[in-house]
Amino acid sequence: MPSSPPPSLTPTQLSLYLTHLFPTSPSTPHPTPPLSSHPPSTQHTYLTTLLTHHLATIPFENLSLHYSPHRQISLHRDALFQKIVGDGKGRGGYCMENNALFGLLLKGLGFVVYEAGARVWNPSAEGEGEGSSHMINIVTIGTKKYHVDVGFGSQGPIVPMPLDTSSPIQPHLTPASARLQYKNIPGTTDPSQRYWVYEHRASPNTSFQPRYCFTELEFLPSDYQVMNYFTSTSNKTWFTRTVVVERKVMGEGGELVGDVTVNGDVMKRRGKDGVKEREVKFASEEERVRALEEEFGIRLDEVERDGIKGLPSEIK
């Protein structure tokens, strides 16, 4: 049976998406698609630029599970595009939203890319990861594969990370760093099984900590429908219990220099070298909603603001 063609963004959607990522940089050179026809160095440089601007423009957030009358997440291409780009309300999404849309952008530009699933580490489960609940993108450039993720929040990767068994250390927000290790994980019965384990450390003086693991197996849309349903509805996931927002801060030179996070009723802003520049504890919903607009550019309408009333995540 012939398979149906994968979903793709329209030329108009691609153009609007790039404008959204580069609103003040109309002169930014964009290689002519398909990107796969360009030299590997050109592809890698442009992929890194897209990743940087995405992390600094589109927040990682779960607001639709709290500030919403329906509290549902759609992974349909047009719904994702309208929410994150089309509506112009400063919105983002959680992993399956941001990475799905970013993957569509990369495919539309002619990158060779597919999606994979990841198991997020659960430190309270004796080192075992949770079931597959995270989405990443795997991009092939030349003969190399790269792990790309725009949907894991503050400790997620900020550069394309090569699937390299020598585990080279990759940059993160200073003084942090990250790496991929190819190894077995706790809980498996076959010791020959290998996973790519994404690890992050806060500074050179601390040890690397696993954050999630994945294989190179391609996941299909039906896999993500199952993952998305559990992640967005189960009271066992923190997504349904706590309001979380995170966005990277871009420096004058175009590099990522810090981030702004909201975790429940607390907002923190970190700057260069990980220095905490600001911390605010919200005393009311009005304060949090105002901070979402002032710090992230997220504008919630009255229906969305009313959606959190009565939920455990509401600030009372």
The size of the chain, in residues, is: 316
Mean confidence (pLDDT) of the chain = 93
Cβ(100)–Cβ(85) below 8 Å: no
- Of these residues, 149, 213, 259, 265, which one is catalytic? 149
Instruction: Residue 108: name the closest of 33, 29, 220 by CA.
Output: 33
- What are the residue ranges of helices labelled H in 37-94? 40-57, 77-81
Q: What's the mean pLDDT in 270-291?
A: 95
CA distance 53 to 246: 14
pLDDT for residue 26 is more than 70: no
Give pLDDT tens digits for 122-156: 766 555 567 899 999 999 999 999 999 999 999 99
Question: What residues contact 109, with CB distance under 8 A and at least 6 apart?
Answer: 14, 33, 34, 35
Give 188 or 178, the one with higher predicted confidence. 178
- pTM (predicted TM-score): 0.94
- Of these residues, 44, 53, 134, 147, which one is catalytic? 134
Cis peptide before 157 (omega within 30 of 0): no
Burial of 119 (0-12, 13-18, 19+ CB in 10 A): buried
Half-sphere CA count of 150, side-chain side, radius 13 A: 27
Instruction: Residue 106: name the closest of 56, 154, 44 by CA.
Output: 44
Six-digit token pair at 303? 């229906």
| Strands, E assignment, the chain | 60-61, 112-121, 129-141, 144-148, 161-162, 170-171, 177-183, 195-201, 209-218, 244-250, 256-263, 266-270, 276-281
Q: What's the mean pLDDT in 237-261?
A: 95
60-61 vs 244-250, strand pairing mode: antiparallel
What was the pLDDT predicted at 1? 44
Domains of the chain: 11-239 (3.30.2140.20)
Cβ(196)–Cβ(180) below 8 Å: yes
CA distance 270 to 275: 5
Catalytic residue list contains 149: yes
What was the pLDDT predicted at 2? 47
Half-sphere CA count of 294, side-chain side, radius 13 A: 8
What was the pLDDT predicted at 224? 96
Where residue 24 falls among pLDDT bands split at 50, 70, 90? confident
Cβ(37)–Cβ(6) below 8 Å: no
Name, of 26-35, 50-59, 232-241, the range with top average pLDDT. Answer: 50-59
Judged by average pLDDT, the poorest of 51-55, 68-72, 89-93 is 68-72
What's the maximum distance between 2 C-alpha atoms anywhere in the chain? Answer: 58
Q: Between the CA atoms of 45, 50, 51 and 53, what dihedral angle is there, to the nearest 10 degrees?
A: 120
pLDDT for residue 83 is more than 70: yes
Catalytic residue list contains 95: yes
Give pLDDT tens digits for 180-202: 999 999 889 999 999 999 999 99
- Of these residues, 95, 200, 213, 265, which one is catalytic? 95
Q: What's the mean pLDDT in 291-307?
A: 97
Separation in Å, CA 47 to CA 9, 50, 134, 145, 213: 18, 5, 21, 12, 22
Catalytic residue list contains 306: no
pLDDT for residue 3 is more than 60: no
What was the pLDDT predicted at 245? 98
CB atoms within 10 A of CB 238: 12
Q: What's the mean pLDDT in 84-93?
A: 97
Percentage with pLDDT > 70 across the chain: 95
What was the pLDDT predicted at 127? 54
